[in-house]
Amino acid sequence: MSLMSMLSKNGPSGFGASTTAEALTSGLDLTGRHVLITGSNSGLGLEAARVLTMRGATVIGTARTVEKAREALAPLGGKTIPIALELGEPDSVRASVASVRALGVRIDALIANAGIMALPKLEKLHGYEKQFFTNHIGHFLFVTGLVDQVADDGRIVILSSGAHKNAPATGIELDNLTGELHYSAWKNYGQSKLANLLFARELARRLGGTKKTVNAVHPGVIATNLGRHMGTMERVGILVSGPLFLKTPGEGAATEVWAAVHPGAAGITGQYMQDCNVAESSAFGKDMALAAKLWTATEAIVAKVGGPA
């Protein structure tokens, strides 16, 4: 627990920055529930999978290969189903959607958790900036391919980040999704996380009138493998100031687990969440006109790189 977590008060949900996924699910029996988690082999996804299986849920966990998913999930000892998903490859995303559909189960919660951060140099996938493509386009294709498999009262949780506030000055640079005009490791990460948030808000709007919910989550700042592309000085800076603000993986996984399964989060939709409570996003993060434009641009990209799942 960091100093900041220790000093912060719990919010209206009764939970806060220092709540762990394990603590908030204490007493919950999730037997019979199916929770799908992308990026379940590492960091927050793995911690969420550990706690959810501990509470009896069946975790359908993805990793880039099925072997990697199996290796990560088997030691958890609970009910797990490993699935391959490479978000950067539409063919893999479509195959993954097909594998999940073939299970024939209703998905009680889908946590779009996988992600990459702060690639130092511009890298592209299918002509688009890699963080935008992986974090947003890959998950758009995956989640929209599975919405009808989500239970009638199921919950979709999309990992965003407080870094969405560091998006470019115009929010989403729809004229620079290739990154060719200019590129910044952190601004482009921020843009991809703003895209995750706007996707959650727009999908929630589109699912209005149903009981399916969609929310976006900032987990806090946690030292996971996500920092693998950061420079040495950036890593040292985080580790030195870590005791002040770094969350543990258990605290970091708490908000996505709260959003996905806790009775206190039932019925909440279209929101940005942090520290196991609804939170304020940036103005761009609430801009539904931008969300609609992003949806249209995303559909065009998806059509170009291989059509819907």
Ligand X SMILES: NC(=O)c1ccc[n+]([C@@H]2O[C@H](COP(=O)([O-])OP(=O)(O)OC[C@H]3O[C@@H](n4cnc5c(N)ncnc54)[C@H](OP(=O)(O)O)[C@@H]3O)[C@@H](O)[C@H]2O)c1
Q: How far is the CB of 215 from ligand X (least distance, A)?
A: 14
**Interface with ligand X (CB under 6 A), residue from 31, 225, 241, 296:** 225
189 is catalytic: no
> Could you say whether residue 51 binds ligand X (CB under 6 A)?
no
Do strands 124-125 and 107-112 pair parallel, antiparallel, or not at all (unpaired)? unpaired
Q: Which two tokens stand for residue 217?
A: 């989550």
**Interaction between residue 190 and ligand X (CB under 6 A):** no
Q: How long a stretch of residues is the chain?
A: 309
Dihedral over Cα of 77, 34, 162, 189: its sign: positive
Closest Cα to residue 114, out of 84, 70, 147? 84
Among 21, 159, 172, 204, binds ligand X (CB under 6 A): 159
Amino acid type, 147:
V
Tokens of 51: 């706690």
* Residue 82 binding ligand X, by CB under 6 A: no
Find the residue with minimal CB distance to ligand X: 43
Q: Tell me the closest approach of the beta carbon of residue 41 to ligand X, in angstroms.
A: 5
Q: Which is nearer to ligand X, 204 or 253 (CB)?
A: 253
Strands 213-218, 272-274: pairing is: parallel
| Residue from 17, 49, 87, 197 in contact with ligand X (CB under 6 A) | 87
Closest distance of CB 128 from ligand X, Å: 13
Stretch that binds ligand X, among 24-32, 83-91, 141-149, 168-176 (CB under 6 A): 83-91
Residue 17: how many CB atoms within 10 A of its CB?
Answer: 24
Q: Which of 52, 81, 111, 114 binds ligand X (CB under 6 A)?
A: 114
Q: Which is nearer to ligand X, 86 or 275 (CB)?
A: 86
Alpha helices in 153-184 (DSSP H): none
- Interaction between residue 97 and ligand X (CB under 6 A): no
Structure tokens at 282: 């940036």
Q: Please, what is the minimum distance in Å from the beta carbon of residue 261 to ligand X? A: 17
Give dist(CA 86, CA 92) in Å, integer.
6
Distance (Å, rounded) from C-alpha 309 to C-alpha 302?
Answer: 9
Going residue by residue from 6 to 35, which x/- string records binding to ligand X, judged by CB under 6 A?
A: ------------------------------
Pick from 177, 222, 257, 294: which binds ligand X (CB under 6 A)?
222
Which of positions 256-285 make contact with ligand X (CB under 6 A)?
Answer: none
Q: Which distant-in-sequence residues (6+ apart) come within 8 Å of 94 by Cβ?
A: 141, 145, 306, 309
Instruction: Fill in the amino acid letter for 117.
Output: M
Structure tokens given for 70: 């199996």
Q: Distance of CA 46 to CAs 209, 252, 276, Å?
A: 33, 11, 18
| Residue placing its CB nearer to ligand X in the complex, 241 or 292 | 241
Contact between 111 and ligand X by CB under 6 A: the answer reads: no
Six token digits for residue 62:
């993805």
Cβ-based nearer residue to ligand X, 19 or 161? 161
- Interface positions with ligand X (CB under 6 A): 39, 41-45, 63-64, 85-88, 113-117, 134, 159, 161, 218-219, 221-222, 224-226
Active site residues: 183
